Amino acid sequence: MELEVVYPKYDQLPFSAKDYFIDKWMRVAEEHNCDKVSFVLAEKKIENAEIVRSESVFLNPLERVLMDYMHRTFPDTDPKEMLIQNEDGLIDMAQTSTKDGKHVIHVSLSVQEAQVIYMVDNEVVHIDEYPTSGLMAAALNGVEFDDLVHEAEVWWLTTQPAKISNKK
């Protein structure tokens, strides 16, 4: 007997829900003595649940949050490729320019130091430090690209000297 499970919004779930979903249907398949389980997830068919499970089940909480962020933010790129550390040992989370195009905003993450580093024009404007990677994962859970960029802009603006206009 074959069980085919269709779940069109699978790619929109957080990793913990994906694990739950796959585990649930694997248990159903076992209970009904199915020898084959196929998942139709977000318009692509996955013949073997282990393909999906290997990407999410064995990740630590920070890796899950980062994979989820990368998948949501850069859907056309493999999240694993996005999580490769650069030459400074940092993971690039966001890079863009200000609305006027005069400044470059860059947000990186240091897994070893449990830090989120906000930079503008290659100058550090703020560092969020966490005592553990688990707490950093909790803080970053559900974060969006625009949230990171906005945070960098806010910290950068606090470092800028006040501009005084001379009105007469």
Coil, strand or helix: which one is 107? strand
* Of the candidates 111, 117, 114, the residue with the CA atom closest to the CA atom of residue 94: 117
Rounded to an integer, what distance in angstroms lies between the CA atom of residue 102 and that of residue 18?
A: 41
| 50 and 78, same domain (yes or no) | no
In a domain, 18, yes or no: yes
| 22 and 52, same domain (yes or no) | yes
Whether the per-residue pLDDT at 39 is higher than 70: the answer is: no
The pLDDT value recorded for residue 51 is 39
Whether the per-residue pLDDT at 40 is higher than 70: the answer is: no
Phi and psi angles of residue 79, each rounded to the nearest 5 degrees, phi first = -55, -35
| 43 and 23, same domain (yes or no) | yes
The pLDDT value recorded for residue 118 is 95
Quickly state the pLDDT bin for 61 (edges 50, 70, 90). confident
| 104 and 142, same domain (yes or no) | yes
User: Could you tell me the residue range of the domain that residue 117 belongs to?
Assistant: 61-159
| 75 and 9, same domain (yes or no) | no
Lowest mean pLDDT among 8-17, 26-35, 116-125: 8-17
Q: How many domains does the chain have?
A: 2
| 100 and 23, same domain (yes or no) | no
In a domain, 165, yes or no: no
Lowest mean pLDDT among 48-52, 57-61, 81-85: 48-52
Contact 83, 70 (CB under 8 A): yes
**What pTM was computed for the model?**
0.62
